[in-house]
Structure 1
Amino acid sequence: MELLFVALGGAILGIAARYTLPRRAEYGVVVVPAIGTATAAILWVALTWLGMAWDSGWIWLITLVGAAAVSAGAALLIGRTRAASDERLLATLSSGTATA
């Protein structure tokens, strides 16, 4: 049951990262929340395998801060990479050197 709650928390943090960081028009609506959800679930399972108790405050803190950090990093990286790729493609297409 706790895994469900932590996955929901990761999704909410991913949604927050998507709508508070720049260049959100460069990638899909579900990409960053999905990354937040997956990160939270993976961190939670890894920490429980390492012996952390589910009712400890530290496992919650580590998992949710990690999910927020990965979501924010992914949003910034994907947005910047996609914008640079689009600019290169536009320059190539407008120069007339593109081949089919």
Structure 2
Amino acid sequence: MYILLALVAACALGIAAHFLIDGRELRGAALTPGIATVVTAALYTGLQWAGLGEDNVWLWLASILGGVVVAVVATLALVAARRRSDAAKTAALGI
């Protein structure tokens, strides 16, 4: 049940990251929070299976911050790829 707290925190931080990262017009509003939530769920579950209890601070820090960091890196990579793709298509069309 505590996993819901981690997921809500990761989603909220993912929403904040969405608005802080440039290039919002190139991606959907749910991309960054969605990635953060999915990665946090996987990390939280994996760390619980590894033996970390709900009272361990490393479970919370690693799962929440790890999910947000992965989401930010993935969003930056996707925005950069979209910009390169748009530039290549624009150049190919001669615009």
TM-score in terms of structure 1 length: 0.88
Matches within 5 A, 1:26-41: 26-41=26-41
Aligned length: 95
Structure 1 counterpart of 2:46, which letter?
A
Moved over 3 A (4+): none
Q: CA deviation at 1:94?
A: 2.5
| Superposed CA RMSD | 1.2
Structure 1 counterpart of 2:5, which letter?
F
Q: Percent identity?
A: 32
Contact 1:17-1:75 within 8 A present in 2 as well: no
Instruction: Return 5+ residue gaps in structure 2 as ranges.
Output: none
Contact 2:18-2:32 within 8 A present in 1 as well: yes
Contact 2:17-2:32 within 8 A present in 1 as well: yes
Give 3-state SS (helix, strand or coil) of 1:68's partner.
helix
Larger Rg: 1
Counterpart in 2 of 1:98?
A: none
Q: CA deviation at 1:2?
A: 0.9
Distance 1:23 1:63 in 2: 26
Counterpart in 2 of 1:47?
A: 47
Distance 1:79 1:42 in 2: 24
Structure 1 counterpart of 2:10, which letter?
G
Distance 2:94 2:2 in 1: 53
Structure 2 counterpart of 1:21, which letter?
I
